[in-house]
Amino acid sequence: MTPDVAMEPFPELIAEPLSAIVSRFKAQQPGGRAIAVYPVWAPVEVIHAAGMLPLSLLGGGTSVELTHADARFQSFVCSIAKSTLELGFQGRLAGVDGLVFSNICDVARNLGSIYKRNFPDTFVSYLHLPQNSTSASVVPYLASELRRLASDFDAAFGLKVTEGALTEAIGAYDALRARIRALYALRIAEPQKLGTSELYTMLRAATLMPVGEATAALDALLPRVAAREARPRDRLRVVVEGAFCEQPPLGLLEVLEEAGCYIVEDDLLLGWRWYTADVGGTGDPFERLASAYVNQAVPSSTRHESREHRSAGLIEKVRRARADAVVFMPAKFCEPALFDYVLMKQGLDRAGIPHMLVEFEEKMWTFERTRNEIETFVESMLFD
Amino acid sequence: MAQTVTERAYQGRVHEQSRRLMTAWMGELARAEAERRVTGAIMISGNCVELLRACHVLPMFPEVTALQNAIRHKSLPLILKAEQVGYSSDNCAYVKADVGLVLEGGFGPGKPMPFPNLIVCNYVGCNVYVKWFEHLADISGGKLFMLDVPFARTDAPSADDVRYVVKQLEELIALCESMTGRRFDIDELREVLALSARAQDGYARCKHLTKYHPAPFDSYFDSINMMGPINVLRGTPEAAAFFDDAVAEFEELVAQNLGPLSEERFRTVIEGPPPYPFYKSFRNLFTRWGAVAVQSTYSTVGGIWEFGFRHDPRRPLESIAEQMLRENLTNRSIVARYAQIRRYVEDWHADALVIHSIKSCRLFSAGQGDMREYFIKELGVPTLLVESDLEDPRYYAEAQIRNRIDAFFEALEHKKLVATH
């Protein structure tokens, strides 16, 4: 089987509404439950350990026309918040038993409570993820927050999270994340073999499957991708930064590649590959997850890290991926990304790393202007 | 429209004393470098100013700097300056105005507004605070302390939440000691908290006086005179005395049946921060209709005192933690705010809700359309939503806002007439 054949179900899967995915899951597993998690990071291990299916909740993209949510959220609010609420109004989250939000930004926080008000029968949990990265109390606090989520699952669904089940879930997701890290490493080493639009499709599909199936699917793909015959081309190696929540349309990633870039690093679907290494370890699994969240985290615009400058993680990413430049790709109105852009670009300037800015909205569908901008940037770099 | 309503020629002792106290505080800040005093930046929302005071760190508030520049019509050039270096037009304009002030050379060493030595990011609800203070630390080189306060997401703060915040307060105290070279004295903090509680009593009493008809002051536009002392100067003897005087003055007005306008025709609750660059013009749009705000949510960003919470000197760190966790507007969900507003509408006998939605502050505004739906459709409260900004004058469209306000009060007036006939 070629990678293209192994990839076949993925584009269709990621285009489906969650209601269809959940309906299929429940037909296969009568009595099963599914919890959708809003970006960026969520403790999917706790959901899995409760016996439920964690799914990514990434807004409506181009699939929904806003008819209700626009009356709730103003014009200056990002698209993913509005389209997520709209998914609820249009029944495209039917069958999803609960949603998990966290304090990634002010809009996401308000969205969580507004979703609950409009859909009172849906289980909605809001997690406060710590912004203090060095206090002696931060890991115990986050462990208590994860235990609270587990206890809410018990209260809402009668599903208990045991330490044994959580340890098993950490192992299962460590295995999945190891495959994702391997794909990312392969892309850095040989980007001609694995385009980002393809990698993104694989990864996004993995967030819509039971973890065991996702790991098996990536296992099947990895050797086939590695065995591909592809000649390296004279392209600009870039890091894409800023698209950690609202997801850019696939067409935009394709345009970036067509315009002469190898995307060798990015922060797409960042929460699903949050840790720099396996969580692993022994002892209280809630504490282990909490400690890994704080001490093994990839750099993220939604988490404050007082141990390094805001631009340090990005510069390290550029060096590690042997990138030539950074393409900042914040979603329109995304305050965390737009604020970080300033400190990050100043850091890149000091380090002599070229960069450009491309704003997007999940629902954009024409890319010609962006294509011209990127082509100009690429040409200016390649023929400098 | 019926007979013209005018503003009573009233500035009063509250206004004058507030101005005097705030000017004195700014003077202290201007002298801080020369006097080698340690300064600490902190945010208004659910702040722990008492702790800085007891640690002998002179508090400074970047938000106050930003709003003062806006109200003096100086914000736009500063915002544009920040946008020139890469800030987006979609970023909070409060932050941009402060960054612009640095770029313009009006903020920093040797200036009336010094750079802070210590930067305490009291992350109480607003995510932009985290970014703002990261940027301030980057610009100023001040020591950044991230005081992470879990958002109110359960009926009451859990023991784990309180423990987490208290532990961080202890770590902050240790940092302050290392910066000031002075040992922290818990009894001094108790004294500061007792003064703070006295100011809270006074502020709460003032806000309850607006239940009278007419209300003795406008709880949105006039509250700004009290918000400086309650949020910035809390814990000082001067602030405590200020509120003693304020209560006396407003009680006198109640006894004389006097309000801020020649006639109180409509009683409103206003939600959202004001458009500082057009403070007076915006107020005039309500004055001409005889509309007085009898309550406002903006006046509770620093703390919600009118429902009874007070700092407790017997439990100093715990009560500071509880106030930051729960007893302020910004660390509560927008839907929890609906309950606060509903209580205001009912207990303060308001005729309507006015939502001033601002682009800069998504914490306040994201989802206010849902709030409007709730109040109109589920409670039947007449509700007006207008949009502009608290700092950026480019978003204030006077003619449009005036049309909306006029249409709203015309309809409200008609409704009142129909109801009385």
Determine whether the interchain pair B131/A107 forms a contact, defined as Cβ–Cβ distance below 8 Å.
no
Determine whether the interchain pair A73/B171 forms a contact, defined as Cβ–Cβ distance below 8 Å.
no
Determine whether the interchain pair A145/B333 forms a contact, defined as Cβ–Cβ distance below 8 Å.
no
Query: Chain B closest CA to A194's CA: distance in Å?
Result: 33
- Around B176, how many Cα atoms within 13 Å sit in the side-chain half-sphere? 27
Query: Chain B closest CA to A38's CA: distance in Å?
Result: 17
Show residues of chain A in contact with B127, CB under 8 Å: 103-106, 109, 335-336
State how far the Cα of B343 lies from the Cα of B126, in Å rounded to an integer. 24
Structure tokens at B374: 């709730």
Residues 6+ apart with CB under 8 A from B167: A135, A136, A137
Q: In what order do the strands lie in the sheet with B58-60?
A: B58-60, B39-41, B118-123, B143-148
Candidate from A110, A137, A339 with C-beta closest to B164? A137
Q: For residue A139, is pLDDT > 80?
A: yes
Mean pLDDT, residues A351-365: 96
Determine whether the interchain pair A141/B147 forms a contact, defined as Cβ–Cβ distance below 8 Å.
no
Number of residues in chain B: 421
Residue A265: strand, helix, or coil:
strand
Structure tokens at A114: 């507004």
Determine whether the interchain pair B366/A345 forms a contact, defined as Cβ–Cβ distance below 8 Å.
no
Mean pLDDT, residues B252-256: 97
Question: What's the pLDDT score for residue A216?
Answer: 97
Which one of B139, B332, B362 makes the best mutation probe of the A interface by having the most chain A beta carbons within 10 Å? B362
CA–chain centroid gap for B337, Å, is 15
Show residues of chain A in contact with B148, CB under 8 Å: 130-132, 135, 138
Question: Residue A112 phi/psi, 5° resolution?
Answer: -55, -50
pLDDT in tens, A217-254: 999 999 999 999 999 999 999 999 999 999 999 999 99
State how far the Cα of B290 lies from the Cα of B321, in Å rounded to an integer. 41
Q: In what order do the strands lie in the sheet with A98-102?
A: A52-56, A33-37, A98-102, A123-127
| Burial group, residue A315, by CB count within 10 angstroms (0-12, 13-18, 19+) | buried
Query: Chain B closest CA to A325's CA: distance in Å?
Result: 18
pLDDT in tens, A243-299: 999 999 999 999 999 999 999 999 999 999 999 999 998 999 999 999 999 999 999
* Number of helical (H) and strand (E) elements in chain A, helices listed first: 16, 8
Determine whether the interchain pair A339/B91 forms a contact, defined as Cβ–Cβ distance below 8 Å.
yes
Determine whether the interchain pair A341/B368 forms a contact, defined as Cβ–Cβ distance below 8 Å.
no
Residues 6+ apart with CB under 8 A from B380: none
Percent of chain B with pLDDT over 90: 93
Query: Chain B closest CA to A128's CA: distance in Å?
Result: 6
State how far the Cα of B58 lies from the Cα of B49, in Å rounded to an integer. 9
pLDDT in tens, B344-392: 999 999 999 999 999 999 999 999 999 999 999 999 999 999 999 999 9
Residues 6+ apart with CB under 8 A from A173: A44, A45, A48, A211, A279
Question: What's the pLDDT score for residue B10?
Answer: 62
User: Would you call A39 an interface residue with chain B, using a CB distance cutoff of 8 Å?
Assistant: no
State how far the Cα of B216 lies from the Cα of B205, in Å rounded to an integer. 12
Determine whether the interchain pair A128/B153 forms a contact, defined as Cβ–Cβ distance below 8 Å.
yes
Owner of token pair 């179900």:
A9
Mean pLDDT, residues B187-192: 98
Which one of A84, A125, A138, A339 makes the best mutation probe of the B interface by having the most chain B beta carbons within 10 Å? A339
Query: Chain B closest CA to A331's CA: distance in Å?
Result: 11
Structure tokens at B20: 């005097």
State how far the Cα of A361 lies from the Cα of A220, in Å rounded to an integer. 33
State how far the Cα of A295 lies from the Cα of A287, in Å rounded to an integer. 12
pLDDT in tens, A99-128: 999 999 999 999 999 999 999 999 999 999
Higher pLDDT, A197 or B8: A197
Candidate from A74, A133, A335 with C-beta closest to B128? A335
pLDDT in tens, B31-71: 999 999 999 999 999 999 999 999 999 999 999 999 999 99
Cis peptide before A40 (omega within 30 of 0): yes
Taking only Cα atoms into account, the Rg of chain B, rounded to an integer number of angstroms, comes to 21
Determine whether the interchain pair A342/B87 forms a contact, defined as Cβ–Cβ distance below 8 Å.
yes
ipTM of predicted complex: 0.96
Show residues of chain B in contact with A336, CB under 8 Å: 127, 131
Is the separation of the CB atoms in B41 and B326 below 8 Å?
no
Structure tokens at B216: 């003795």
Give chain A's mean pLDDT: 96
Q: Which of B189, B196, B198, B204 is nearest to B314 (CA)?
A: B189
Is the separation of the CB atoms in A327 and A358 below 8 Å?
yes
Beta bridge partners of A297: A275
Determine whether the interchain pair B126/A343 forms a contact, defined as Cβ–Cβ distance below 8 Å.
no
State how far the Cα of A38 lies from the Cα of A60, in Å rounded to an integer. 12
Identify the sign of the CA torsion A45, A50, A53, A55: negative
Q: For residue B296, is pLDDT > 70?
A: yes
Query: Chain A closest CA to B35's CA: distance in Å?
Result: 30
Which one of A85, A107, A113 makes the best mutation probe of the B interface by having the most chain B beta carbons within 10 Å? A113
Is the separation of the CB atoms in B182 and B56 below 8 Å?
yes
Which residue of chain A has the CA closest to B151? A128
Show residues of chain A in contact with B46, CB under 8 Å: none
Show residues of chain B in contact with A132, CB under 8 Å: 146-148, 168
Is the separation of the CB atoms in B293 and B269 below 8 Å?
yes
Residues 6+ apart with CB under 8 A from A280: A170, A171, A174, A288
Question: What's the pLDDT score for residue A221?
Answer: 95
Candidate from A72, A126, A137 with C-beta closest to B367? A72
Query: Chain A closest CA to B417's CA: distance in Å?
Result: 30
Determine whether the interchain pair A106/B123 forms a contact, defined as Cβ–Cβ distance below 8 Å.
no
Show residues of chain A in contact with B144, CB under 8 Å: 306
Determine whether the interchain pair A73/B369 forms a contact, defined as Cβ–Cβ distance below 8 Å.
yes
Determine whether the interchain pair A113/B126 forms a contact, defined as Cβ–Cβ distance below 8 Å.
no
Number of Cβ within a 10 Å radius of residue B205: 17
Q: For residue B2, is pLDDT > 90?
A: no
Candidate from A138, A336, A345 with C-beta closest to B127? A336
Determine whether the interchain pair B370/A130 forms a contact, defined as Cβ–Cβ distance below 8 Å.
no
- Where residue B156 falls among pLDDT bands split at 50, 70, 90? very high
Determine whether the interchain pair B160/A339 forms a contact, defined as Cβ–Cβ distance below 8 Å.
no
Is the separation of the CB atoms in A300 and A242 below 8 Å?
no
State how far the Cα of A49 lies from the Cα of A28, in Å rounded to an integer. 19
Structure tokens at B398: 């006077």
Determine whether the interchain pair B363/A117 forms a contact, defined as Cβ–Cβ distance below 8 Å.
no
Which residue of chain B has the CA closest to A110? B334
Show residues of chain A in contact with B121, CB under 8 Å: 304
State how far the Cα of B352 lies from the Cα of B271, in Å rounded to an integer. 11
Any idea what the Cα angle at residue A71 is, between residues B92 and B330, rounded to 5°? 40
- Where residue B12 falls among pLDDT bands split at 50, 70, 90? confident
Q: What pTM value is reported for the model?
A: 0.96
Question: What structural domains and CATH numbers belong to chain B?
Answer: 14-180 (3.40.50.11890)
Interface of A with B in 184-243 (CB under 8 A): none
User: Would you call A117 an interface residue with chain B, using a CB distance cutoff of 8 Å?
Assistant: yes
Which residue of chain B has the CA closest to A105? B127
State how far the Cα of A282 lies from the Cα of A284, in Å rounded to an integer. 7
